[in-house]
Chains A and B, each alone.
Chain A
Amino acid sequence: MRKSDPISLSPLAPGRSWLRTLLSNALVVVVVLILAGIGRRIEYAERNFSFPWFHDWITWHWGFYQTRMLMLAAIGVIMAVSLQLINGIAGQFSLGHAGFMAVGAYLSGYASSTYALLDPDDPGTNYENAGQVAWYFVSLATVVFTIAVVLTVVFLLLRLSQRLWRGLPPLLLLAVLAWFTWDFSAGFGLESVPPYLIWTKLLRGLGEMFGWTLAQGLPHALEFSKWLPAWSRRPLCFLTLLTGGGLFASAAGLLVGLPTLRLRGDYLAIATLGFAEIIRVVITNSQALGRSTGLPVTPYANRPDLIPDPDRPGDPVTHYIFPWILAMMVVTIVAVWRIAYSPKGRLIRAVREDEVAAAAVGISTTRQKVTAFIVGAFFAGVGGVLYVHREGYVNPSSFGIDQSLLYVVMVTLGGLGSITGAIVAGALLTLLPFLFRQLASVQALPLSVRHVFENQFAVLALALVIMMLVRPRGLLGGRELWWRRNRRALQTAPAAGATAT
């Protein structure tokens, strides 16, 4: 509790010295390095733990299976925490989070399957070509930027037309969309496009621009990759993939966030859901991205001599991505936490609480909402990159509405607005199906119980229903596990009459 005498305040608010921040930043770096160290240990040994006293019950094998579960749980945490920023802290009901994940996954998956190989004759140099991967993203960015400019011009013209007549913009919008559709269907698959099909020409032109930009830069990018010191090539390449995937996902977040600003609640949910479905449909119809059969991506590996052997699914190769996944999980949690509990987070939460009042005190509600979308989408994209490089295969069904709903359930189960809640729920909801399946194979349990657990998702659904009945506000009820955060700002006033008035 603060003292009532204002003169005694120190220039810096208590507990927020620069030294403490330096230490906590250093701590994050240290934790990430430790996790990387653990990752390397695990890849060398698959350890068997068996607890003698549980021997009749459960024999734990710590091996590939358990590591895979841990990695999936970590990715689940990344997705849940990033969605918590959008749904819980900004109060924007987004049902399309898997769409952002898909953007990150597919763009980075395509990049790594096409451009990550440094020397085409030596498969051991996979994931060493940081330069070309980066250039691919840059060329893609120029295309996206051009599209953005065109769309902005169209949008502004529509807005201007409002001055002629108030009802003009929606009519014009419909007209433009119809024109668009006719233009595309008329020009689809044509060898040479007649000049009056402007939109098809524009799109083909964009494709050519993409190809030209790529061709201009790829040789130089290759030189750059070779110039990099050998020890840095793989980390840099993967870092480029993560950043590129994240940035394009946040561009998608901007694209979703801006037009949906005026929408509330269910309407916003439907709009975001629609966006995620559009992404999925675009992927399903794109030859380059593998359509619905999916895109194979070589799992990320550091050791060139460890090429994955399809006959040995327990191969430690995939463990190399383990430190990256854990490190990115830590980064996501720290970043979202720091945004949420900062002046910026206050602004975002104020917009969630009462938009009218927020506008009345000068807060730009647009900027706060869009910021939440952009940051949340960025980390969702990062989660997508990690997911695709762990699985080795990506296919549009992994990013459908089921997944989006699962993430929303994670966020709500943990408690809207609580980051630690999202962490717990994200890990729990990813791990529980596996746990149930393990329980189904435990000999000591009666057969009927084991049959029940075999339907892992049904049991999960039942567990969720029970949870919502018992604790409707979520596991942590919107609070954080960290006691100090709870101590401030969540106390209620003493009973009236107790304070001296």
Chain B
Amino acid sequence: MTAPVPVIPIPLAVPPSGGELLVENISRSFGGLTALKDFSFAVRPGELVALIGPNGAGKTTAFNVVTGVYPPTAGEIRLAGRRIDGLAPADLCHAGIARTFQNIRLFPTLSVLENVSVAIRRPAGQGLFRTILQTPGFLRAEARTEQEAMELLATLGLADKADLRADSLPYGDQRRLEIARALATRPKILLLDEPAAGMNPQEKVELTALIKFLRDHFGVGIWLIEHDMKLVMAICQRITVLDHGETIAVGAPDEICNNPKVIEAYLGEPG
């Protein structure tokens, strides 16, 4: 499936205002092991940046710190000027950071549509009593949510599968669904944790186009962790390389390719 062209101009195409993610000198230790040392990073809405490095370099640790799985042992994280380090994952989501997971974490028995609807920020009219009584306001709110979810699915090419169980989709579609769900939270910054893991070359080509489309259409800042260098080089504006918890290089794809430190630690000889 090629990256779909949107049928209707969808309101989500307005880039979110503000929302620069600034990671300032964060460190994270687990007991005696320093997984991340003095790590700094920046993502702005509309940028596509990547974090690469060998296994164990601290990439997922960086993601986990930014998405609230555990707090940094030092340093600050700011989103649009507001400090967000140490917040719980749900609060971070409300602040505007969304993420996908390396091992796809969908809600398996829920349908595709429900997976996305669940992520849409609930309007106020859906409290407990209104749910039981099913007031007209409740019904209207639910209709709006469903419509928004369907539009998002249509943008990502999953509209014809809306009623299927999420765990019955093929792998590539599950990845799309997870991305759709993350986008439903209207994030300013989207974190993708190894999105190409487990994909065959054809699926990777489609994914590359999809990620670019996401940035262009939704205006979010996208931060990738990825091992597939072809994908990274093709779409990213800036790459940061980690090794053993420390940043060894930052720059545009060509600079990184030719950086001797990076080649020694990670890339190997070009071939």
Residues of A within 8 A of B (CB): 1-7, 9, 11-13, 16-18, 21, 24-25, 334-335, 338-339, 342-347, 349-350, 353-354, 356-365, 371, 375, 488-493, 496, 499, 501
A-contacting residues, B95-114, CB 8 Å: 98-99, 101, 105-111, 113-114
Shortest Cβ distance from A340 into B: residue: B131
Q: How many interface contacts (CB-CB < 8 Å) are there between A and B? A: 157
Q: Is A16 within 8 A of B143, CB to CB?
A: yes
Query: Is there a chain A Cβ closer than 8 Å to B117's Cβ?
Result: yes
Q: Which B residues are CB-close (under 8 A) to A339?
A: 128, 131-132
Cβ contact within 8 Å between A7 and B7: yes
Q: What count of chain B residues pass the 8 Å CB interface test?
A: 61
Q: How far is the CB of B97 from chain A (nearest CB, A)?
A: 9
Say which residue of B8, B119, B134, B159 sits within 8 Å of A25 (CB atoms): B134
Is residue B246 contacting chain A, with contact meaning CB distance below 8 A? Answer: no
Is the CB–CB distance between A492 and B118 below 8 Å?
no
By a CB distance below 8 angstroms, the chain A residues around B151 are 6
Query: Which residues from chain A contact B140 at a C-beta distance below 8 Å?
Result: 12
A-B pairs with lowest CB-CB distance, top 3: A362-B93, A489-B111, A4-B160
- Which residues of B approach A to under 8 Å, CB–CB? 1, 7-8, 67, 88-90, 93-94, 98-99, 101, 105-111, 113-114, 117-119, 121-122, 126, 128, 131-136, 138-143, 145-147, 150-151, 153-154, 159-165, 168-170, 181-182, 184-185
Chain B residues whose CB sits within 8 angstroms of the CB of A345 once the complex forms: 131
When the two chains form the complex, which single residue of A12, A363, A499 contacts B139, counting CB atoms closer than 8 Å?
A12
Which of B88, B107, B143, B185 contacts A12, CB < 8 Å? B143
Residue on B nearest A487 in the bound complex, by CB: B163
Does the CB pair B170–A496 fall under 8 Å? yes
Report A-chain residues with C-beta under 8 Å of the C-beta of B169.
493
Instruction: Give the residue among A11, A346, A354 with the most B Cβ atoms within 10 A.
Output: A346
Residues of B within 8 A of A491 (CB): 163-165, 168
Contact of B126 among A334, A343, A489 (CB under 8 A): A343
Q: A339-B128, A343-B122 are in contact. Are A2 and B164 (CB under 8 A)?
A: no
Residues of B within 8 A of A344 (CB): 126, 128, 131
Selected contact of B107 from candidates A2, A17, A21, A350, CB within 8 Å: A350
Contact indicator B107/A338 (Cβ below 8 Å):
no
24 residue pairs from A and B, CB less than 8 Å apart: A2-B113, A4-B159, A12-B143, A13-B146, A13-B147, A16-B143, A18-B139, A21-B135, A339-B132, A342-B134, A342-B138, A343-B118, A343-B142, A344-B128, A346-B117, A349-B109, A357-B106, A360-B67, A360-B90, A361-B185, A362-B90, A371-B128, A489-B113, A492-B164
Tell me how far the C-beta of A38 lies from the nearest C-beta in chain B, rounded to whole angstroms. Answer: 25
Q: Which of B90, B135, B150, B163 contacts A6 (CB 8 A)?
A: B150
Among B107, B113, B181, find the residue whose CB has the most chain A CB atoms closer than 10 A. B107
Contact status B107-A354, CB under 8 Å: yes
Min distance, Cβ B240 to any Cβ of chain A, angstroms: 23
Residue of A nearest to B154 (CB): A6
Give which listed residue, A17, A363, A489, contacts B90 with CB less than 8 A: A363
**Which B residues are CB-close (under 8 A) to A353?**
107-110
Cα(A492)–Cα(B170), bound, Å? 11
The distance in angstroms between the C-alpha atoms of A343 and B109, with both chains bound, is 15
Residue of B132, B133, B142, B163 touching A2 (CB-CB under 8 A): B163
Q: Which residue on B lies nearest to A359, using beta carbons?
A: B89
Q: How far is the CA of A346 from the CA of B133 in the complex (A)?
A: 17
Please name the residue on chain A nearest to B147 by beta carbon. A9
Cross-chain contact A357 with B107 (CB below 8 angstroms): yes
Q: Which residues of B contact A21 (CB under 8 A)?
A: 134-136, 139
A12 to B136, CA, bound (A): 11
B132 touches A338 (CB 8 A): yes
Of A6, A356, A488, the residue contacting B7 (CB under 8 A) is: A6
Sample of 8 further A-B pairs with CB below 8 A, known A2-B162, A4-B160: A13-B146, A339-B128, A342-B138, A343-B117, A360-B67, A361-B181, A362-B121, A492-B164
